[in-house]
Amino acid sequence: MTTLRASLAYELRMQLRRPAMWTLVATLAVMTLATRGPRFPTNLPVPHPLPAVLAGWALALNLMAPLAAGVLIADRLVRDRRLGVDELLAALPASVGARLWGKYLGVTAATAIPTLLAMLGAGVYEAAHRGAVSAVGWAVVAFVLVDLPGLMFVGAFALLCPALLSAPLFRVLFVGYWFWGNLLNPDYVPTLTGTLLTPVGDYAAAGLLGAHRLWAGWPGLASVLRPPIGPVSGVASIALLVGAAVVAVLVGQGALIRRKA
């Protein structure tokens, strides 16, 4: 547990001190605001359910934030090998699993913090705009239900896949996947967009908090993975995303233990 805590704290601090993370997440947030459409939360009428408004904010931020998270996390695990400290760390009494989980939780938490801060800002704005202090609480709820599962999903694969692919190749494939599997109109090409496995958080936002959907439940190919929008499908989407992240880290842990042996 000490190893996990130490590894988590170190990775968290190291990621938080990267100026690139703050400047680029802010840039991507500005890009999100620049492309806002008629259903963007700032354009919703004032008598509108607060959960739906804040879920709309969470969904809008999640269009770009996980992209930044994935690109920034991609070099975290391979970095140990590149810097030549892998063998040194392996010689420590600390277990491989605890170090990997600490690293995963630390980098994911660090890349989630800018989104959390942005959601708190949105909550304060909506509280003032709509005259309801509870908007700040709904902002936290929307962050946990909509943004966090997607960030956990992206964080797990972004941490582990570069060990197989190399960080630059993973980044190219990941950016392509992000557009194809989360943002592309399903009528255009067969895509994972709008399915339960879409980390953008469409099902959780629409099914649990009543936000306007992006593509969740869209008819067409892969419709088996696009059940009707509702609380059950919202919970199923969260469970699938978090479950896939946990399984990915466990598989990575097994692979690292085998490599060490």
Task: Give the binding range for another protein (CB under 8 A) out of 108-116, 171-179, 198-206, 235-243.
Answer: 171-179
Distance CA 106, CA 24 (A): 19
Residue 185 near another protein by CB under 8 A: no
With respect to another protein, which residue has the nearer C-beta, 111 or 233? 111
CB 4 within 8 A of CB 101: yes
- Nearest distance from residue 258's CB to another protein, in Å? 27
Q: How far is the CB of 169 from another protein (least distance, A)?
A: 9
Q: Does 43 bind another protein (CB under 8 A)?
A: no
The answer to whether 18 contacts another protein (rule: CB under 8 A) is yes
**What are the DSSP calls for 103-124, one per residue?**
HHHHHHHHHHHHHHHHHHHHHH
Count the alpha carbons within 13 Å of 227 in the hemisphere toward its beta carbon.
Answer: 13
With CB under 8 A as the contact rule, which of the stretches 22-30, 93-101, 191-199, 233-241 interacts with another protein?
22-30
Q: Which residue's CB is nearer to another protein, number 1 or number 83?
A: 83
For residues 28 and 152, which CB has a smaller minimum distance to another protein in the complex?
28
Question: Residue 173 CB, nearest distance to another protein (Å)?
Answer: 9
CA distances from 232 to 10, 124, 146, 151 (A): 37, 30, 14, 21
Residue 52 CA to residue 55 CA, distance in Å, equals 5
Closest CA to 21 of 76, 95, 63: 76
**Number of chain positions touching another protein (CB under 8 A):** 31
**Which tokens hold the place of 123?**
């909550």
Q: Does 68 bind another protein (CB under 8 A)?
A: yes
* Residue 24 C-beta: closest distance to another protein, Å: 5
Instruction: Give dist(CA 203, CA 236) in Å, integer.
Output: 9
Q: Find the part of the chain contacting another protein (CB under 8 A) among 13-21, 91-99, 111-119, 220-228.
A: 13-21
- Which of 1, 2, 46, 83 is the binder for another protein (CB under 8 A)? 83
Stretch that binds another protein, among 71-79, 100-108, 111-119, 120-128 (CB under 8 A): 71-79
Out of 5, 81, 82, 260, the residue judged to bind another protein by CB under 8 A: 82
Query: From the CB of residue 17, how many other CB atoms can be counted at a distance below 10 Å?
Result: 10
Scanning 12-20, 132-140, 141-149, 210-218 for contacts with another protein by CB under 8 A, the matching segment is 12-20
Is 142:209 a contact under the CB 8 Å cutoff?
A: yes
Q: Residue written as tokens 């008819």?
A: 219
- Helices marked H in 131-230 — which ranges? 134-142, 148-160, 162-165, 167-178, 202-203, 209
What is the three-class DSSP state of 233?
helix
- For another protein, the binding residues (CB under 8 A) are 18-20, 23-24, 27-28, 31, 34-35, 63-64, 67-68, 71-72, 74-75, 79, 82-83, 167-168, 171-172, 175-176, 178-179, 183, 189
